[in-house]
Amino acid sequence: MKTPSSPLPPGVKTPGYPYSPLPIFKEEPPEVTQLFSHLELDGNKLTHQPGSVLGSIALVAGTTIGAGILALPTVTLPSGVVPSTVLLTGIWLYTLVSGLLIAEATLRTMRDVGRPSLGLLVIIQNTLGKLLGKIGGGTYLFLQYALLVAYVSEGGEILGSAISKMCGIQNVIPTWIGTTVFSLLFGGIMYVGRERFIEKLNSAFVAIVIASFLGLFLLGLTQVHPTQFLFQNWAALSPAVSVMFVALFYHNIVPVIVSQLEGDARKIRQSIVIGSVIPLIMFVAWNAVILGSVSSDMVGKIAFDPLDVLRSGGAGEWLGVLVSIFSEFAIVTSFIGCVYGLVDFWKDIYPVEHHQLSGRLSLYSLVLVPPMGLSVINPSIFFSALDYAGTFGVSVLIGIIPALMSWKQPQEQSNTMNPLIVPGGKLTLIVMIGVALVLIGKQILSMYRL
């Protein structure tokens, strides 16, 4: 037998004859980090369509930046810029851990049931059982309706004020008219519009939000009084906690991120961390500019909304216009996502022919009529709705439930099939549950005192 003219490369094992033409190398094959692969049939070929980390980051950031940012200046004004920034950073860390816990639970549930594209409620029920799954479903329903009430109320008020100014009406249009017009206008667009059209429209609205925020930030810097940053009242932080929880809420789309990224724990962690840091930076900048732009004699007052002053032109006409544009479209983008979430929720419970307008009418009526009615009855419900949503809905859904899911699942060592994304073990889970219970307890006590 003729032997090769040159030796084999170093590090080669040769089973059998020393010069085997099929050498086996010492190096291990590349580690597979994802649970599955997105494959699509393109003609006669299967093509791999992996999710984009950049796209997932944008999804987390876009979901987080919404109407919750509008309530921040009002609840942080009594405490000042420095204390509210510290609290906002702490709550961001809490919500980050919660989001990673949900991602961890999603990965394990996907492995157990053997399929991707699982919703948050399915994951809760699969992990904690039907009883807690129903509790999670009820909490989700309460949270979404509370947020929708807040969006309709505030969006209608801003829209009514804008219509009054454009028409030259001296007296402000009654709030119930603005609320009704807002609900019917944007709800009607979603009712008759196709999903592709709504997606493009929402992308345009998001672009308006980003552009108006940048303009607002740059213009607001010219109105800032540096002495405002010296005011600190740490004892006045408590009312801001629940609103900050709502402002930093994105957890309903975490299972979507996990599925898009094929269960790759490293990419998932990267997307959630970076995607949540971007809104945090925006919130801190927004909070500092707005609080730094108001008059010093207003600092420390609780019953005062600095955005109302800015919208009325109290700090410059163009600044007021940008605040109104940013506020309205931030609410609209949140409104669209919230309505879609509730429509999908009710479709799972009451299947109808939602492709036909007659079948869609019952779904959209069930979603839009209750919040519109509550907003008409109580026009000043915006902050109360955000407060209750943050205290009860978000506390349970992103505080207690994710910790319980992680507690029930075995705390194995990290590996490809059972990745541990959040360190700290049960001590981390105890802290998560404890913070949520304290927040709920304080809200119950405040209701009892009233």
Spans of all domains in the chain:
49-410+418-449
Look at residues 225, 333, 330, 334 and name the one whose alpha carbon lies nearest to residue 282. Answer: 330
49-410+418-449 adopts what CATH topology?
A: Amino acid/polyamine transporter I (1.20.1740)
**3-class state of residue 301 by DSSP:** coil
328-331: long-range contacts, CB 8 A cutoff, minimum separation 24: 328/155, 328/158, 328/159, 328/162, 329/205, 329/208, 329/209, 329/212, 330/65, 330/66, 330/67, 330/69, 330/70, 330/209, 331/66, 331/67, 331/70, 331/151, 331/154, 331/155, 331/158
**Radius of gyration (C-alpha) of the chain in whole angstroms:** 26
**3-class state of residue 205 by DSSP:** helix
pLDDT tens-digit series, residues 386-434? 666 667 777 888 888 898 888 887 554 444 455 567 777 788 889 999 9
Residue 93 has pLDDT above 90, yes or no: yes
Candidate from 18-22, 218-222, 312-316 with smallest mean pLDDT: 18-22
- Residue 7's pLDDT is what? 47
d(CA 159, CA 202): 18
- Residue 218's pLDDT is what? 83
pLDDT tens-digit series, residues 158-191? 888 877 777 766 666 777 888 888 999 998 998 8
**3-class state of residue 25 by DSSP:** strand
- Pairwise pLDDT comparison (187 vs 293), residue with the higher score: 187
Confidence of residue 194 (pLDDT cuts 50, 70, 90): confident
Angle CA 412–416–417, to nearest 5: 65
Q: 39-42 and 24-25: which strand pairing?
A: unpaired
Look at residues 211, 207, 150 and name the one whose alpha carbon lies nearest to residue 182. Answer: 150
pLDDT tens-digit series, residues 214-258? 887 887 787 788 888 888 889 888 888 888 888 898 888 888 888
Confidence of residue 89 (pLDDT cuts 50, 70, 90): very high
- Pairwise pLDDT comparison (360 vs 191), residue with the higher score: 191
Residue 19 has pLDDT above 50, yes or no: no
- Pairwise pLDDT comparison (341 vs 326), residue with the higher score: 326
Look at residues 250, 258, 273, 269 and name the one whose alpha carbon lies nearest to residue 106. Answer: 258
Confidence of residue 205 (pLDDT cuts 50, 70, 90): confident
- Residue 331's pLDDT is what? 86
Both tokens of residue 225?
Answer: 């009084």
Confidence of residue 14 (pLDDT cuts 50, 70, 90): very low
Distances (CA, A) of 91 to 234, 244, 252, 407, 427: 15, 7, 17, 21, 18
